[in-house]
Amino acid sequence: MTHYTLYELEKITGILAATIRVWERRYNIIIPKRTGTNRRWYDDNDLRRLINISIIYHNGIKISKIAKYTESELIAKVNYMTRDSVISDTHIKSLIVAVLSFNGNAVNEILLRSVISIGFEETFSSLIFPFLRRIGIMWHTGSANTGAEHFITNILRGKLIAAIDSLPSASNPKRKRVIMYLPDNELHEIGLLFYSYLIRKLGHEVLYLGQATPFSALTEASEKWHSDIFVTGVLSELSIFKPEGYLHNLSTTFRSQKILLSGSLADNPVIEKYKNLYPIRSVSDLRKHF
């Protein structure tokens, strides 16, 4: 069973921990479990319920009224409030609830409504990545449900691969050859796949090596494919042994190539020492190099 702390509930729902404690005491909206040392902890059901309550509460309904709703009334009210197509914090929270419930139909409905309304690219920029930032660090540290992480990752991965496969062959007369990979021990590839989609859509050639690519495999691919640009990144530098050394090795081994770094690697100050390393923190940053 997944255990969430009060602090983690605050980070996901946007409701202050002190407020949650007051709501527990006055309205019994959720009943915390207790560790042997009397510390509060919560499970997935508690989190889903509190997210639904926070959606309704942040839409102007008093907690005293919300506390009287049955579980089915809570869900119906949330569905009504998320019926519009404008992406907001409410939609991000609804996606979290759908994922924690392993509700594939709800996930696909949320994504489809968004794609119809604002397009594929904006759906990832405005909905998917804010969602992943909201709960991703908890997944990375193992404090949240890893089954839910695999569930949503496979849905998103499938949609990105289908979108990439639907694109025409590279057609840009000034097209570049781009190797895209994640370093050893890094498995979080949704961001890299999204960047692959964007680069392919701009008419460039992509050699996608994907997750946990050994440095030797990267060297071999570059020698045979003659790339112009590398794109890589990590969710957390914890997945790289001595990140400064890794960046030095990357820069000096591929001196003639431009190397674009995303995620935590983009924030490493050592990249300023190397002329061929560039931080990528947004889609606009990426586009500047193409």
pLDDT at 138: 60
Distance CA 230, CA 173 (A): 20
Report the first-to-last Cα separation within the chain, whole angstroms.
46
| Cα torsion angle, 114, 120, 125, 130, sign | positive
CB contact at 8 A, 279 and 250: no
Distance CA 269, CA 188 (A): 22
Set out the domains of the chain in order of their start, with CATH numbers: 6-163 (no CATH), 169-287 (3.40.50.280)
Distances (CA, A) of 233 to 13, 52, 200, 247: 28, 34, 18, 11
The pTM assigned to this predicted structure is 0.79
Q: Does residue 85 have a pLDDT over 60?
A: no
pLDDT, tens digit (0-9, with 9 covering 90-100), for 99-141: 888 999 999 989 988 888 889 999 999 899 888 887 765 665 5
Read off the pLDDT band of 40 (50, 70, 90): confident
Distances (CA, A) of 90 to 53, 81, 104, 200, 236: 11, 8, 18, 32, 27
Read off the pLDDT band of 154 (50, 70, 90): very high
pLDDT at 148: 85
